Structure 1
Amino acid sequence: MVKFTAKITDPVGLHARPAGIMSTEASKFKADMTIISEGRKGNIKSIMNLMSLAIKSGTEITIETNGPDEEQALAGMREVMIANGIITK
């Protein structure tokens, strides 16, 4: 298992557009991908699961990946989140 922690910087938080982007990216990998926010966990491959967490701007999150391509999955997710303004470097 590998993970990283970041703060949501999108001014609206984790709404439909970023949740869709993250779900699409996560689906490219075999690894399980989980987001953890304020003690709650969600499956990143499920857009509805992500949106149900109602993560607001400024909230600290942890992304965990576990599986055969976990390193690539984590790197891909971080890159996509930075490129789309969901988090910063």
Structure 2
Amino acid sequence: MIRMNLEVVVSGGLHARPASVLVNLLNQYSSSVKMIYNDKQANGKSILSVMALGVKTGDEIMFEVEGADEQEVAASIEALFERNFAI
């Protein structure tokens, strides 16, 4: 299992568009991804679950990635955050 904390820098937080970009990315992999924010947990592969977290710009999210391709998934998540959710 890989755990990492990332700060959301995208304007407006994880609203519909960036949440959709994240979920679409994660659904390309077999590993499970759990997102933890303010004692709430979300399935990173579910758009409704991700949006229900209510993550805003400047907030920090913990990701827990587990599975056969967890290294690749973690690297992809970090890259997405680094490029500010640009596709």
Say whether the fold is shared (TM-score over 0.5).
yes
Q: 1:75 aligns to what? A: 75
- In the alignment, residue 55 of structure 1 is paired with which amino acid? V
CA distance in 1, matches of 2:11, 2:68: 34
CA distance in 1, matches of 2:74, 2:67: 11
User: How far apart are 1:4 and its partner, in Å?
Assistant: 1.2
Q: 2:22 aligns to what? A: 22
- In the alignment, residue 76 of structure 1 is paired with which amino acid? S
User: How far apart are 1:80 and its partner, in Å?
Assistant: 1.7
**RMSD of Structure 2 on Structure 1 (CA):** 1.1
Structure 2: state its 5+ residue gaps: none
User: SS state of the match for residue 9, structure 2?
Assistant: coil
User: How far apart are 1:58 and its partner, in Å?
Assistant: 1.2
Length-normalised TM-score, structure 2:
0.90
The answer to whether the Cα contact below 8 Å between 1:43 and 1:49 also exists between their aligned partners in 2 is: yes
User: How far apart are 1:45 and its partner, in Å?
Assistant: 0.5
**Per-residue Cα deviation, 1:7-54 (whole angstroms, up to 9, x for no partner):** 111221110111001001100110001111111110111011100111
The answer to whether the Cα contact below 8 Å between 2:12 and 2:57 also exists between their aligned partners in 1 is: yes
CA distance in 1, matches of 2:81, 2:7: 11
Q: 2:59 aligns to what? A: 59
- In the alignment, residue 46 of structure 1 is paired with which amino acid? S
- In the alignment, residue 5 of structure 1 is paired with which amino acid? N
- In the alignment, residue 52 of structure 1 is paired with which amino acid? A
Structure 1: state its 5+ residue gaps: none
